[in-house]
Structure 1
Amino acid sequence: MKTNTEVLQIAKRTLEAEVEGISGLAERINNDFYVIIERILSLKGRVVVTGVGKSALIAQKIVATFNSTGTPSVFMHAADAVHGDLGIIQKDDLVICISKSGNTSEIKILVPLLKHGGNTLVGMVGDKESYLARQADYVLDTTVEKEACPLNLAPTTSTTAQLVMGDILAVCLLECRSFSSEDFAKFHPGGSLGKRLYLKVSDLYINNEKPEVPPHASVKEVIIGITRDRLGATVVVNKGTIEGIITDGDIRRMMEKYDSVHGLEAKDIMSKSPRKIESSELAVNALELMRSNNITQLIVADNGEYKGVVHLHDLLKEGII
């Protein structure tokens, strides 16, 4: 086993090698790249991404990124293509074939079949003199000087370069399409990411009770209301107008301030000018408002009309946090 110092040196050396390999991509982005973006944007079909070995894994990730950012795509394994999967490719599709060497037997079998179909063929390749580069209509050059692997054998820097090139394509495409956060939410409806983009305060507060007391409510009535509705607070409302809020914290501060609560009313212990949020706001905005004010609940009000309360627990339950 190597020493702590040796392991850290290897880690840093590997990272530096990867960074150096990626930095070289900037010099290789040329007019072919622009034409590829132009072709994809005008496609009637999809982008079919294919590869073999580690390149196939990178192809799957690129497809996932394309699909989630508005570019319809499908993965086809190069080895399976000649056993029936060529049927995936339709006449209006564009094919991106990924290979480090561009000279593998699978690529040499696949490329003539792709060319025969008349589809635009893009080669993402690490050797501009390779078979794939020469046969492709357009080339994305992902050449790297060496792998991060000390033996210069295991695909490391080369697959990182492929991955980054895929990200570059995806980002250029989404910006050219003016792809918005609302568009992104359509493709990510599940999980915390999607909910942060589409879940609104109106989806949350309606599931809660609507706690409220009049300004002249007794302390006992206030405490009973807070306990009953289980939101840690009640809103003080006078003839439809929100005058304040009483939280668990206000109750504790009241006990510290007064020797006797006899005769105290809601208006005497409420916090005035409470934080409010409109029901149409995104739930994530409610979270930011709670965090910035160090509170756990917000009054929901539309044009001053009291609607209910949204609690930090609602956001936790939905996975927003």
Structure 2
Amino acid sequence: MTIPDTTTRRRAAVLETARAVVAHEAQGVAASVTDLGDVFLDVVQRVYECTGKVFVTGAGTSGAVARRMAHLLSVSGTPSVFISGADALHGTMGAMAPGDILVAISRGGGSDEINDLVVRAKERGVDTVVAVTADASSRLARNADVVVELTMIPGIDPGEVIAMGSTLVTAAWGDALAVVLMRMRGYSWANVLHSHPSGAVGKIDEAPQELPPLEPYWK
């Protein structure tokens, strides 16, 4: 059966739109490579030397990215935990203490619950608050000890409202942090596989070749 021209055009328009979204998001992630500089090195050292707990927080879609970042840090040898800003303001922040680090994610830096948590965390003696944001002048950035300002190309999010591409940029930054720390710690694949007993990863017969080590640059 011949597909009508109208249907063909509509199908093409849908695919063109979908491919443009993926291509633009990939461009946005690639552009964020320039954000990996001195501030990134500062965060690496602080997290590496942290003697307490590493918390990661965010609200909404940033919360989903924060949960992912905490998970992947833990998987790769830097024990971390996601903390909900909303729950933290109802007592969960009691887990925070001197020696801890809080990584707070918010593109605009204006999430009330995250900003309130940051203030309280500092009052509780948390050593370092790292703001991961696209707005270095935001309230979140002003209250942080370290500000990671991520580059967001125009149109990275639809209407600059729905957090889509921006979350991928933030996630990629977190992935870079996790891999660098894994290599600095010499965290082995055996350790990674041991923590995955219920999935296909844990059933791999032979571990991958170990990643090349990285030396802490400040030692």
TM-score (norm. length: structure 1) = 0.59
Q: Secondary structure at the residue paired with 1:101?
A: coil
Please give the residue correspondences for 1:94-243 in structure 2 after superposition, counting only pairs within 5 Å.
94-119=101-126, 120-196=128-204, 199=205
Deviations 1:136-183 (A, max 9, x none): 111222231334444231101111111111111101110111222222
Q: Equivalents in 1 of 2:82, 2:94: separation in Å?
A: 12
Which segments of 5 or more consecutive residues in structure 2 lack a partner in the other structure? Answer: 1-6, 209-219
- Between the two proteins, the alignment pairs up a number of residues equal to 200
Structure 1 residue corresponding to 2:65, chosen from 43, 54, 58: 58
The answer for the alignment partner of 1:214 in structure 2 is none
**8 Å contact 1:146–1:157 — kept in the other structure?**
no
Structure 1 residue corresponding to 2:34, chosen from 19, 27, 30: 27
Bigger-Rg structure (1/2): 1
Runs of 4+ in 1 over 6 A off after TM superposition: none
Give, as a single letter, the amino acid of the residue that structure 2 aligns with 1:82.
Answer: L
Q: Equivalents in 2 of 1:4, 1:155: separation in Å?
A: 26
The answer for the alignment partner of 1:275 in structure 2 is none
**8 Å contact 2:53–2:80 — kept in the other structure?**
yes
Q: Equivalents in 2 of 1:101, 1:11: separation in Å?
A: 26
Structure 2 residue corresponding to 1:87, chosen from 80, 91, 94: 94
Structure 1 residue corresponding to 2:24, chosen from 9, 17, 26: 17
Give, as a single letter, the amino acid of the residue that structure 2 aligns with 1:192.
Answer: A
Q: Secondary structure at the residue paired with 1:74?
A: strand
**8 Å contact 1:76–1:88 — kept in the other structure?**
no
The answer for the alignment partner of 1:73 in structure 2 is 80
Instruction: Report deviation, 1:30.
Output: 2.0
Q: Secondary structure at the residue paired with 1:103?
A: coil
Q: Root-mean-square deviation (CA), in Å?
A: 2.0
Percent of paired sites with the same residue: 32
Q: Equivalents in 2 of 1:139, 1:77: separation in Å?
A: 20
Give, as a single letter, the amino acid of the residue that structure 2 aligns with 1:131.
Answer: R
**8 Å contact 1:25–1:141 — kept in the other structure?**
no
Q: Equivalents in 1 of 2:85, 2:207: separation in Å?
A: 44
Compared with structure 1, are the counterparts of its residues 149 and 4 closer, same or farther at alpha carbon in structure 2 (3 Å cutoff)? farther
Compared with structure 1, are the counterparts of its residues 37 and 156 closer, same or farther at alpha carbon in structure 2 (3 Å cutoff)? same
Which segments of 5 or more consecutive residues in structure 1 lack a partner in the other structure? Answer: 200-281, 285-321
**8 Å contact 1:127–1:143 — kept in the other structure?**
no
Compared with structure 1, are the counterparts of its residues 156 and 147 closer, same or farther at alpha carbon in structure 2 (3 Å cutoff)? farther
Compared with structure 1, are the counterparts of its residues 165 and 44 closer, same or farther at alpha carbon in structure 2 (3 Å cutoff)? same
Q: Equivalents in 2 of 1:47, 1:110: separation in Å?
A: 15
Q: Secondary structure at the residue paired with 2:83?
A: strand
Q: Secondary structure at the residue paired with 1:3?
A: helix
Q: Equivalents in 1 of 2:122, 2:31: separation in Å?
A: 30
**8 Å contact 2:28–2:165 — kept in the other structure?**
yes
Q: Secondary structure at the residue paired with 2:147?
A: strand
**8 Å contact 1:44–1:93 — kept in the other structure?**
yes
1:5 aligns with 2:12: yes
